[in-house]
């Protein structure tokens, strides 16, 4: 869907993209990075709206330097900032955008009605946009990106300014753009956690450089950390402590699961293979306690990013 090779964008005072090489396939892809990481700059180059300083990029097999118009016919774009005219209704605006994309009047009206319904705007669609909430405005911006039935959409910070419920609804809509219509999505966010549930693939950039690109599954793969939860008993009213002490006596270090649901009742330890599972099982059985759970913890994207960030900082410090 998207391929860049050594792509750089230098402004007089800032390097917004720094030799970025990345491949993005079909599905929902998250483009993650802190504010100023270069996400919007990349999107503008991919749409052929802003020339790269060096390197090359292709979208749907088309060269961004030569085929900007053809790319914009096939790609929808939801910009980050509020750019909606306050005096017209959502219907008028989206019909206008559909006409601008080349749809004939009747098709433009039909597609507008369908798309606004899909994004969850009903009778409000006849009222002027100026009176809409942030969530409704984000939906209008999403609708205009989808109305010409693109193969791919670029959504720049679509959850910005939304409360948690609005955020969840928007993420659900984004997922359905792909599952219901087969349209691929590139969605940017500075919040790593929210993309974990929504995206098939995540690309992380920092200071215009590629930090990591992998499938969400690889990001959230199992760690070697085991989480253990046990029951209490009359003999051991604090079962967790009894297991911890017994494991410590056998030379196994544990830490508590602070930050996890049920913290205080959860012990974390590093699995050294099958023998760790056997040891925990035996220790719990010897104490006459019940094992509620023993499972491998999964990584969260935010943790991976933090690790990567620390590695990067370390590399910078050590001149790597
Ligand atoms: N037209 C421009 N002229 C000069 N500098 C720019 C221009 N556009 C972007 N920049 C700079 O390039 C860097 C990357 O900006 P960009 O908008 O791509 O980041 P971003 O990851 O999208 O962050 P945000 O979500 O805050 O927009 C920033 O330091 C920004 O100040």
Which two structure tokens, joined as six digits, stand for 51?
């020339």
Query: In angstroms, what is the span from residue 42 Cα to ligand 1's centroid?
Result: 10
320 residues of the chain, pLDDT tens digit each: 999 999 999 999 999 999 999 999 999 999 988 888 899 999 999 999 999 999 999 999 999 999 999 999 999 999 998 889 999 999 999 999 999 988 999 999 999 999 999 999 988 999 999 999 999 999 999 999 999 999 999 999 999 888 888 888 999 999 999 998 899 999 998 877 778 778 999 998 988 999 889 888 776 666 678 888 888 999 999 999 999 999 999 988 887 665 554 456 788 888 877 888 899 999 999 999 998 888 877 665 555 555 545 444 444 333 33
Burial class (CB in 10 A: 0-12, 13-18, 19+), 291: middle
Contacts of 99 (CB under 8 A, 6+ apart): 105, 108
Say if ligand 1 is within 6 A of residue 38 CB.
Answer: yes
Pocket test for ligand 1, best of 10, 12, 14, 20 (most atoms within 8 A of CB): 14
**C-alpha to C-alpha distance for 207 and 202, rounded to whole angstroms:** 17
Which two structure tokens, joined as six digits, stand for 158?
């679509």
Pocket test for ligand 1, best of 40, 44, 189, 208 (most atoms within 8 A of CB): 40
CA proximity to 77, closest of 194, 170, 186, 192 = 186
Question: What ipTM did this prediction achieve?
Answer: 0.94
**C-alpha to C-alpha distance for 7 and 43, rounded to whole angstroms:** 12
Q: Determine the distance from the C-alpha atom of residue 81 to the mean position of all C-alpha atoms in its chain, rounded to a whole number.
A: 19
Q: 108 — phi, psi (to 5°)?
A: -60, -40
Query: In angstroms, what is the span from residue 18 Cα to ligand 1's centroid?
Result: 13
DSSP per residue over 16-55, as a string?
A: EEEEEEEEE-SSEEEEE--TTSSHHHHHHHHTTSS--SEE
Which two structure tokens, joined as six digits, stand for 229?
């939860």
């Amino acid at each position: 869907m998207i391929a860049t090779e050594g792509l750089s964008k230098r402004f007089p005072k800032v390097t917004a993209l720094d030799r970025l090489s990345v491949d993005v396939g079909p599905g929902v892809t998250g483009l993650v990075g802190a504010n100023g990481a270069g996400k919007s700059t990349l999107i503008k180059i991919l749409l052929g709206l802003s020339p790269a300083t060096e390197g090359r990029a292709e979208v749907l097999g088309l060269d961004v330097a030569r085929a900007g118009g053809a790319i914009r016919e096939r790609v929808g774009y939801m910009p980050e900032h509020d750019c909606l005219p306050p005096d017209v209704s959502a219907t008028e605006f989206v019909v206008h955008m559909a006409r601008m994309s080349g749809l004939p009047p009747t098709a433009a009206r039909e597609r507008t009605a369908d798309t606004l319904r899909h994004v969850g705007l009903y009778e409000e669609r006849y009222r002027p946009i100026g009176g809409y909430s942030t969530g409704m405005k984000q939906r209008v911006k999403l609708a205009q990106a989808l109305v010409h039935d693109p193969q791919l959409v670029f959504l720049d910070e679509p959850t910005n300014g939304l409360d948690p419920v609005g955020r969840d609804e928007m993420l659900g809509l984004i997922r359905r753009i792909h599952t219901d219509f087969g349209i691929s999505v590139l969605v940017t966010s500075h919040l790593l956690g929210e993309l974990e549930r929504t995206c098939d693939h995540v690309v992380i950039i920092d200071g215009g450089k590629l930090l990591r690109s992998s499938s969400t599954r690889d990001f959230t793969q199992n760690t070697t950390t085991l989480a253990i939860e046990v029951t209490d008993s009359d003999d051991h009213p604090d079962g967790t402590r009894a297991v911890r002490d017994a494991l410590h006596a056998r030379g196994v270090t544990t830490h508590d699961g602070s930050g996890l649901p049920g913290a205080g009742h959860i012990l974390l330890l590093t699995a050294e293979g099958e023998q760790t599972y056997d040891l925990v099982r035996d220790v719990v059985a010897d104490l006459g306690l019940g094992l509620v759970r023993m499972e491998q913890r999964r990584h969260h994207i935010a943790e991976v990013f933090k690790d990567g960030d620390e590695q990067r900082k370390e590399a910078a410090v050590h001149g790597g």
